[in-house]
Amino acid sequence: MISKQDLGGAWTLRGADHELPATVPGCVHTDLLAAGAIPDPFLDDNETTVGWVGRADWAYRRDIAWDGPAHERVDLVFDGLDTVAAVALGGTPLGATRNMHRGYRYDVTALLDGSPQPLDVLFTSAYTEAERVRELLGERANAYPEPFNFIRKMACSFGWDWGPTLVTAGIWRPVRLEGWSVARLATVRPLATWSDGAGRLDLTIEAERLHDVPLSVRVLLDGREVARGELPPGDSRLSLSANPDFVRQWAPIGYGSQPLHDLTVELSTGDVLLDRWQRRTGFRGVSIDRGPDAAGSRFVIEINGEPVLVKGVNWIPDDIFPARMTRARYELRLREAVAAGVNLIRVWGGGIYEDRAFYEVCDELGLLVWQDFLFACADYPEEEPLFSEVVAEARENVTRLAPHPSLITWSGNNENLWLHGAMGWSDEASWGERYYLETLPAIVADLDPSRPYQAGSPWSGSWDHLPNDTGHGTFHSWEVWNREDYLNYRDSAPRFVAEFGWQAPPAWTTLRDAVSDDPMLPDSPGVLHHQKAEDGNGKLARGLAPHFGTPSSTEAWHYLTQLNQVRAIRAGVEHWRSYWPHTGGSILWQLNDLWPVTSWAAIDGAGRYKPLYFELASLHAARGLTVQPRDGGLVVAVLNDSPAGWAGRLAVHRRTTGGELRAAWAVPVEVAARQVTLVEIPRDVTAIGDGEFLVAELDQARALWFAVPDKDFPHPDAALTVTADPVPGGLDVLIRADGLARDVLLQADRIHPEAVADRGFLTLLPGESATVRVRGPVELDPALVKAPWVVTDLATVLAGDE
């Protein structure tokens, strides 16, 4: 049986006149931080101060010896090296690497004689390698000014329009010694599918041999043998299938349960067990309906034959130093996504293939995973030394992630097919088209035919249409935000929106902790350094102007930009949901951040919730209402994404800010499961006068409609009363309004940096009240709810009275 010896923990790091303790897994930056050798790169402009780290060469060392049982072979195994490394043991070179996204294995049997031997991993700067390859192959276009497209490394470590430039190096995933004899399981690739009410398991097993002896393979599910096969001498590959009648169907959250089955593969010779591989897997069917219709071509994801309305978020690496990620942190962030009503996570192509723990948690929670291959926003050379690295990386990761039922689709790239033409990038040299249209689909067809492949995102399905065509396939909506107001989301009904978003700063405490500016202003140096988008603050200002005018203070700017982000995302999601199934869903850019920054995220870089996070739960609710303009009038879209029909009495009222009823209308409605019904509102009800608005209600669902921009609506004082009662773990804050109180916000981090509220913006009609639950790690002072900007509302902010 294989024996394993972990080599993580204490190492030594040398380079750039430094010698200091290192921790593996880890990276140079985290080791330097732990030693106090560099300042916090998240503070002010320290990112620039520590830029030299990414351009230096570094060396990791520790002594190793095999102290396990005797074996015929001992391998040194790296699950991940970042990125350009030379590995040597006892002064003997073992190999060189140039890909962060692969693992490496070296036979070190002859080099381990029982005495400790120095293991050296020498890292060359990723800049050095990328610039060498660029010089060799020639320039390629790029949306950002760094050479990330010339090296197989996490692209966003070179900076992005939401991320810092912190180019890492290090042993970023586990390293170990493995002792084995006779043979071992080199790869196990299970494809677990479901169709016609039954599960099917197809496995491909590859063994690495030291001897040509007969080998046996045994496959167990939940401890029951479901398949057995033999590898005669000389054979190293075996395919097995099983149709276990006891497995249950796995479904995404909201569409069923998530049963997982323990899968075990054993390799033996005679009665001797040589190796054992274990994972959990689930059985489900996956397809994407991309067929033609009268409006173009569809893009509807189907799981187990059932169309799924996608309520998705884009995922970037949750830490600029991904070695710091733990299973607990993955679980925290993914559970937060579920709490926000999310059912799909898109792993974006400028990051990494995430750790096994990420996909296991998604399996358990029922979160669908859309996995990009790692290409983003650039032309990528197809020549060596990159082509063979791409092939090896893709084959390894398709195999590695095969067991996970949550993984439902592979996508070739992020925006490369679109930007190449839209930006007018040159066709004189290779640019990646071969990867996306030939190489990667062939790999997926060979290794993982159970999951549909997409050439990229966005992609219209072929060159017959422009890649970002609203009528075909997936669409990225970036004219809105970059150039257009968010109400322009209503100008089209794309078939599937794979990216869209609107910026806002992080929570107040997150921004204040990251910036030393005094005073801190929207355009002060530290705030601007933590705004990476091109003219990002200009776009924020232009986005505010038609809705709220010019903020009167930094605090007002912070509040209004948060509110405008919520307004924008609500405008898009409600519009697109009203077009289901014509529009197959949307994927917000983005769920998370990897440092404190003004960005499109719902959860900021310190893990604090922006108001958008809470809004997502409302937008993704199984049942909801939205008032939408259609054909010169207004309709109520009754949104039912639940597995049961929804029947009731839809009521629409026209009211004043003081609560006076000006018009009323009601009608019975009945909406089938997973469907949307549009109900036209009579014109006499929608004849909205000054200071009037509409309220639509059905059961517990409510939607409001205001006919004029916020800045033009008369907002009288709502006469808010706020009382806070201490409770175990925090405060219950009761907010009551005598008049209309729009967009009341309690910012819990202004009470205590670790305090959390259970809701974001809320609107109260005259006479209504709501309780906001605030929880924290220490006893919270109820008097602080009266402090400036802890609780405020739109009328107060627009009046400049805070």
In a domain, 612, yes or no: no
Q: Is 330 exposed, middle or buried (0-12, 13-18, 19+ CB in 10 A)?
A: buried
486 pLDDT band, cuts 50/70/90, is very high
Note the pLDDT tens digit of each residue in 637-680. Answer: 999 999 999 999 999 999 999 999 999 999 999 999 999 999 99
Whether the CB-CB separation of 28 and 13 falls below 8 Å is answered with yes
Of all residues in the chain, what percent carry a pLDDT higher than 90?
A: 99
> Looking at residue 465, what is its pLDDT?
97
| CATH number of residue 645's parent domain | 2.60.40.10
pTM of the model: 0.97
Q: Residues in the chain, how many? A: 802
Query: Are 276 and 312 in the same domain?
Result: no
Residue 255: CB atoms within 10 Å: 22
Listed residues 263, 281, 299: the one ending a domain: 281
What pLDDT is recorded for position 114?
A: 84
Q: How many domains does the chain have?
A: 5
Same domain, 499 and 358: yes
CATH number at 162 reads 2.60.120.260
C-alpha–C-alpha distance, residues 583 and 460, integer Å: 14
B/e letters for 343-379, b = 16+ CB within 10 Å, e = fewer, are bbbbbbbbbbbbbbbbbbbbbbbbbbbbbbbbbbbbb
Domain identity same for 265 and 309: no
- Number of Cβ within 10 Å of residue 412's Cβ equals 26
| CB environment 640-667: b (16+ within 10 A), e (fewer) | bbeeeebeeebebbbbbbeeeebbeeee
Is residue 406 located within the same domain as residue 528? Answer: yes
Q: Are residues 231 and 291 in the same domain?
A: no
What's the DSSP call for residue 125? P
Residue-number span of the structural domain to which 266 is assigned: 182-281
Does residue 45 sit in the same domain as residue 106? yes
Question: Same domain for 123 and 204?
Answer: no
In a domain, 617, yes or no: no
pLDDT digits (tens, 9 = 90+) for 129-171: 999 999 999 999 999 999 999 999 999 999 999 999 999 999 9
Average confidence (pLDDT) over 15-35: 97
pLDDT for 802 beyond 80: no
pLDDT tops 80 at residue 450: yes
Task: Please state, in angstroms and rounded to a whole number, the distance separating the CA atoms of residues 626 and 695.
Answer: 10
Examine the domain organization and report whether 540 and 649 are in the same domain.
no
pLDDT value of position 800: 85
Residue 618 is assigned to a structural domain of this protein: no
What are 37-64's pLDDT values in tens digits? 999 999 999 999 999 999 999 999 999 9
pLDDT (tens digit per residue) in 64-100: 999 999 999 999 999 999 999 999 999 999 999 999 9
Q: Within a domain: residue 437?
A: yes
- Terminal alpha carbon distance of the chain: 70
595 and 633 assigned to the same domain: no
Domain boundary among 255, 281, 307: 281
Q: Quick check: is 615 in a domain?
A: no
Residue type present at position 524? S
Q: Are residues 795 and 692 in the same domain?
A: no
Chain-centroid distance of CA 171 in Å reads 24
The answer to the question of residue 592 being in a domain is yes
Residue where one domain finishes, among candidates 129, 158, 177? 177
Contact 284, 251 (CB under 8 A): yes
Task: Give the mean pLDDT of the chain.
Answer: 97
In a domain, 333, yes or no: yes
Sign of the CA dihedral 578, 369, 476, 551?
A: positive
Same domain, 225 and 325: no
**Active site residue ranges:** 415
pLDDT at 407 over 70: yes
Residue 167 placed within a domain: yes
Residues 218, 76 share a domain: no
Strands 453-454 and 407-411: parallel
Whether the per-residue pLDDT at 801 is higher than 70: the answer is: no
> What percentage of the chain exceeds 70 in pLDDT?
100
pLDDT tens-place string over residues 721-762 = 999 999 999 999 999 999 999 999 999 999 999 999 999 999
